[in-house]
Amino acid sequence: MSDTVLKDKTPVMSSEDAIFDDIRPCRDDEAPQELAKIAQDESLITGIVRLRFPTLSKWLRPVLRFFVRRYIHKQLAQIKTIQDFQMQVAKAMERMIANTTDGLTYRGFDNLDPNKSYLFISNHRDISLDPAFIDFALHTKSHRTLRIAIGDNLLRMPAATALMRLNKSFIVKRAVASPRERLKEVTHLSQYMGLSLQEGHCIWIAQREGRAKNGDDRTEESVLKMIYMYGRSQKEDFASYMSKLNIVPVSINYEFDPNDFEKAHELDEKARNNGVYHKGEFEDIKSIVKGIKGYKGHVTIVAGQPITEGFSTPEELAQLIDDFIYQHYELFPSVLIAAHELGLATADEVADITAEEKQKFLERVHAYPQQLQERVLKMYAYPYINQKSSLAGTKRHLEPKDAA
């Protein structure tokens, strides 16, 4: 936030006010300049050439760069508004679903009112696809698309930043050092979200900061407290304010995680180095690309009814969100096989899984280094563990090795 804006005593009336220029998505009139950033980003063009033509790029890179640049300009020339851009995203989603999944299932979205605003809170497994799948579901049901919360760690490439702003993403500032500045920024963010919802926009935010790399999805109370800060400034109690936001819990389920190896490797590095892991400069961007291009098997997205009662504290609301996510997991063969390999699932629970399905999953796991294989199994088994504990009314989150 600029100090000039912060010192201005003019009441903030809308999410479109200038005070939010540092975090908001771009508007239609700003689309051309964002598109220009994409078209002019040489690192993006080089990356596409290397990705699409790994062998030819060693010999014909200048020629390939020319044709890729011309192709990008041609595609972007068709886009004049945010809606134009999102229609292109929808087409890309259709191609991605056809090419990298064995089927996509949505449940619960038919029960939502297209004329209402909702705050979608989901588990977080993939940097870009979690909100993208929810957005695609809303698009197919003729709902308005989402304003998407993204971390500022994803804004290291001009083209990536432009793409996200065009896709109605707003920024969550994580790289803030001092507690005072962090409080200022989360208050700013909470106000933006509260006003957006009042104005009829739908919002997605992950249940936690960062992906659940170990597979143990759980809602962080700090996320809910941040959302409530705007309500507190309006002198509303936690339950009254949060119940008005139409919080929709969403359970996202991938049969296979394209980034399972990378997540296990990071966890292993942290375990070996006292919790320290040095992330590469563009590692998050690489995770996004691999998540989009990688094989995901079956994907299931389940949306619940808005949570409007049954809680009075952040802890109680977090438990309601978690219970919905856990109880609506799709226990894919990959989940059950992993749980059985760890001694958690019974023989009866995996009896209907075919030999081909078992071989497919275990060959994937056994292709990874020995020291990562148990981590990968735990990652896949956690939905089984959390669903069992939730259905039993147990709040404690169990490690697979302790759950037998």
pLDDT in tens, 312-343: 999 999 999 999 999 999 999 999 999 999 99
Predicted local distance difference test score (pLDDT) of residue 395: 57
Q: Beta strands of 30-176 (E only): which ranges? A: 101-107, 119-122, 146-151, 169-172
Helix (H, G, I), strand (E, B) or coil at 248: strand
Is pLDDT of 95 > 70?
yes
Distance CA 80, CA 76 (A): 8
Compute the CA torsion angle 355, 359, 361, 367 (nearest 10 deg): 170
- Report the mean per-residue pLDDT for the chain: 91
Q: Would you say domain 84-329 falls under CATH 1.10.1060?
A: no
Predicted local distance difference test score (pLDDT) of residue 7: 47
Predicted local distance difference test score (pLDDT) of residue 189: 97
Compute the CA torsion angle 347, 352, 356, 360 (nearest 10 deg): -60
Q: Which residue has the tokens 């296990």?
A: 264
Predicted local distance difference test score (pLDDT) of residue 51: 67
Backbone angles phi, psi at 393, to 5 degrees: 80, 20
Query: CB neighbours (10 Å) of residue 286?
Result: 14
Compute the CA torsion angle 334, 335, 340, 346 (nearest 10 deg): -120
* Tens digits of residue pLDDT in 145-170: 999 999 988 887 888 889 999 999 99
Q: What angle do helix axes 179-198 and 221-233 make, rounded to 10 degrees?
A: 70
Helix locations, 175-303, DSSP H: 179-198, 221-233, 238-243, 260-272, 283-293
Q: What angle do helix axes 283-293 and 82-100 make, rounded to 10 degrees?
A: 60
In this prediction, what percent of the chain has a pLDDT beyond 90?
A: 75
Predicted local distance difference test score (pLDDT) of residue 6: 43
On whether the CB atoms of residues 231 and 330 are closer than 8 A, the answer is no
Is pLDDT of 1 > 80?
no
Helix locations, 260-349, DSSP H: 260-272, 283-293, 314-327, 333-341
First to last CA, the chain: 50
Distance CA 192, CA 242 (A): 15
Report the alpha-carbon angle 118-297-290, nearest 5. Answer: 80
pLDDT band per the 50, 70, 90 thresholds, residue 402: very low
Predicted local distance difference test score (pLDDT) of residue 5: 42
Q: CB-based burial of residue 234 (10 Å sphere; 0-12 exposed, 13-18 middle, 19+ buried)?
A: exposed
pLDDT band per the 50, 70, 90 thresholds, residue 3: very low
On whether the CB atoms of residues 253 and 330 are closer than 8 A, the answer is yes
On whether the CB atoms of residues 228 and 190 are closer than 8 A, the answer is yes
For residue 263, give both structure tokens. Answer: 């997540």
C-alpha closest to that of 293 among 162, 150, 126, 60:
126
Largest CA distance in the chain: 68
Query: CB neighbours (10 Å) of residue 383?
Result: 26
Distance CA 30, CA 26 (A): 6
Which position has the higher pLDDT, 178 or 216?
A: 216
Helix (H, G, I), strand (E, B) or coil at 27: coil
Query: CB neighbours (10 Å) of residue 379?
Result: 26
pLDDT band per the 50, 70, 90 thresholds, residue 10: low
Average pLDDT score over residue span 198-222? 96
pLDDT band per the 50, 70, 90 thresholds, residue 66: confident
On whether the CB atoms of residues 384 and 331 are closer than 8 A, the answer is yes
In this prediction, what percent of the chain has a pLDDT beyond 70?
A: 95
Helix (H, G, I), strand (E, B) or coil at 340: helix
Predicted local distance difference test score (pLDDT) of residue 187: 96
* Tens digits of residue pLDDT in 131-150: 999 999 999 998 999 999 99
Domain ranges of the chain: 84-329, 331-404
pLDDT band per the 50, 70, 90 thresholds, residue 72: confident
For residue 201, give both structure tokens. Answer: 């926009």
pLDDT band per the 50, 70, 90 thresholds, residue 39: confident
Average pLDDT score over residue span 228-242? 97
Predicted local distance difference test score (pLDDT) of residue 2: 42
In DSSP terms, 171 is beta-bridged to 150
Predicted local distance difference test score (pLDDT) of residue 18: 95
Average pLDDT score over residue span 13-31? 95
Q: What is the pTM of this model?
A: 0.91
**CA-atom Rg of the chain in angstroms:** 22
Average pLDDT score over residue span 38-67? 78
Q: Which helix (H) or strand (E) holds 61?
A: helix 57-76
On whether the CB atoms of residues 247 and 321 are closer than 8 A, the answer is yes
